[in-house]
Amino acid sequence: MMKQLLQIAVLTLVIGGLGSCTPGPRPIDYGTDACHFCRMTIVDRQHAAEMVTDKGKVYKFDAVECMVNSREEIGADNIALYLCNHYEAPGELIDATTAGFLVSEAMPSPMGANLTAYATIEAATAARQEHGGEVFNWEALLSYLKSKHYVYHL
């Protein structure tokens, strides 16, 4: 009986441990958490970002360009999730790889790239009608940031 209870307890711990390794986001503690790249305190609920590795380690950033700058250091092949705040829903993290991005001088961001994320390309395009600027998907944004020297390690 005692052996069976011990086996059940060990099995429960193993199954629970496997489930806890699933990569997923963690809430950003605005005003407390620091950006992994620039070390600034993350306060802007519309421009923050997060990377989650395949092993579940979470890195938090005050801006998308800081996240992109950290890709090489952390290892882009090890990243399970790229997340960023959604401008129209402050504090909500969305998948950066499927987001639409607007770069507009009319919309300043914490690190000076004037970069704002939207849930879709269509939403970013609609915002461009009001604010001007250029719209990018994730891959085009990576190239743009590198060409403008907002990213130092791509």
What is the value of pTM for the model shown?
0.82
pLDDT tens-digit series, residues 131-154 = 999 999 999 999 999 888 766 544
**For residues 56 and 22, what is the distance between their CA atoms, to the nearest angstrom?**
6
Q: Please give the helix or strand (H or E) that residue 116 lies within, else none.
A: strand 115-118
Q: Identify which of 38, 107, 91 has the alpha carbon closest to the alpha carbon of residue 69.
A: 38
Residue 149: the pLDDT is 76
pLDDT tens-digit series, residues 97-138 = 999 999 999 999 999 899 999 999 999 999 999 999 999 999
Domains in the chain: boundaries: 25-147
Task: Report the Cα 8 to chain-centroid distance in Å.
Answer: 38
**For residues 36 and 80, what is the distance between their CA atoms, to the nearest angstrom?**
17
Confidence of residue 3 (pLDDT cuts 50, 70, 90): very low
| Average pLDDT value for residue range 25-33 | 96
More confident residue, 35 or 2: 35
Strands laid side by side in the 115-118 sheet: 115-118, 100-103, 134-136
